[in-house]
Structure 1
Amino acid sequence: MIGYLQGTVLSAGEKGLTLLTPGGVGYEVAAPTSVLARLPGKGGEVALFVHTQVAEKAIDLFGFLEADDLELFRTLISIDKLGPKKAMAILSMFDAEHLREIAFREDVTTLSTVPGIGPKSAKQILWFLKDKVSKLTPSASVPGKAAAPQGPQGEYLDTLAGLKSLGYAEDEIRPLILEVFDDEPDLDAAGAIRAVLKKINAARS
């Protein structure tokens, strides 16, 4: 099975890319849009973690820039009736950190915005991921990724809502909230808000 490819980008489209390896072999690799958007231009070098899907009439390759995203893809396709196509659609809309948060919140509405994923399917996916959170935890070797928060869901959501009411953007505060609940899982919302504000002030000083 092919698990890793490194080479030159020959072309890239809406669903994937063609990669030429140093040995002169070209591989067609499917990839989510989140990966395609970060690829170098034609002729650029890239390395991909690869999942090989073997079917009766085809062998398909799915590429990711980080091992964490590959593991998440494999977790998703292990869910009953959720094949590679839907898993790719999910990862095209949400990175690993965001999907980790959605699973923590059991946010059916947000997950249902993925094309082909209705409320019923979203509930099934979240129910499965709830027991697989450890698989969504990035390895220590991948910088800049936060693990799923351990605090109660209500406290997390209250913290998020409280900070947004103070004028902070969700993209700015979401990673900080995750860090705070990782460090102190038993914090209430008021304590978490204070901790996040402290981090923001420290970063700006």
Structure 2
Amino acid sequence: MISRLTGMIVEKLPPECVLDVQGVGYEIHLPMTSFYQLAEIDQKQTIFIHQVIREDAHALYGFHSRYERDLFRELLKANGVGPKLALAILSAMSGQEFIATVQHAEVNRLVKIPGVGKKTAERLLLEMKDRLAKWQAVSSDISPSAGVDAGVQPLEYNQSQSASQDAIEALIALGYKANQAESAVKKVSAGQSSSEQIIRLALKSML
């Protein structure tokens, strides 16, 4: 199993990147909170990997830290949570925010994430409360309403004129409906040239 990859970032199309490792390009899916932390194009990057092997595909999920990857793996153990949903949860909020959300039993915050209905949110909170008892957030005063900004410093990367469209496509890939994605992007895109920044603000506006 692949645990970690180090190479050059050659492509960034949120929520995915391509990492060149000695001439082999690995397509990696990342939660946006990890995507924000990626180096710029043509710079070296180490990504912690969770590998999923199925009959029809081999998928790599990447994370900025081992901490984030381990939290992703804990989410996958919860009933009804697959990689796509876990990715959506950790895109909408940081790991520390998710732990705080569980601790505060914030059902209303979770149901705003695509794929999470009220019953799923309640079950997830119940299951994760005991599972995350051993986890401790980096900052004990992080509140669930702190927003996706908490502890996240996005890095700029190659800009394109289609930043808003890239942001919409990224949100759709994370499970949001097209009209939700378009509405959220339209609301926050004014004056923004980076798709990362637009995605970040759009996700924050929907929580």
* % identical aligned pairs: 28
Post-superposition shift, 1:108?
0.4
Alignment partner of 1:146 out of 131, 139, 147: 139
Which residue of 2 is the match for residue 106 of structure 1?
105
Measured against aligned partners, the alpha-carbon deviations of 1:4-60 in whole angstroms (never above 9, x if no partner) come to 001100101122100011x22211110011122221221011111100001111110
Aligned partners of 1:37 and 1:104: how far apart in 2?
25
What is the CA–CA distance in structure 1 between the aligned matches of 2:56 and 2:135, rounded to whole Å? 31
Displacement after TM superposition at 1:135 (Å): 5.1
Counterparts in 2 of 1:18 and 1:170: CA distance versus 1, 3 Å: closer
Give the distance between the partners of 2:79 and 2:128, measured in 1 at CA: 12
* SS of equivalent to 1:126: helix
Letter in 2 for 1:3: S
In the alignment, is the contact (CA less than 8 A) between 2:50 and 2:61 conserved in 1? yes
1:28-47 matched pairs, under 5 angstroms? 28-47=27-46
Q: Which has the higher contact order (CA 8 A, sep 6+)?
A: 2
Match of 1:165 in 2: none
Structure showing greater Rg: 1
Structure 1 CA distance for aligned equivalents of residues 49 and 146 of structure 2: 32
| TM-score relative to the length of structure 1 | 0.66
Q: Is the 8 A contact 1:71 1:136 kept in 2?
A: no
Runs of 4+ in structure 1 deviating by more than 6 angstroms, as ranges, are: none
Deviation of 1:170 (Å)? 5.1
Could you say what secondary structure the match of 2:74 adopts? helix
How has the CA–CA distance of structure 1 residues 137 and 56 changed in structure 2, closer, same or farther, with 3 Å as cutoff? farther
Distance in 2 separating the partners of 1:98 and 1:61: 24
Structure 2 runs not aligned, ≥5 long: 152-207
C-alpha distance in 1 between matches for 2:60 and 2:146: 34
RMSD across aligned positions (CA)? 2.3
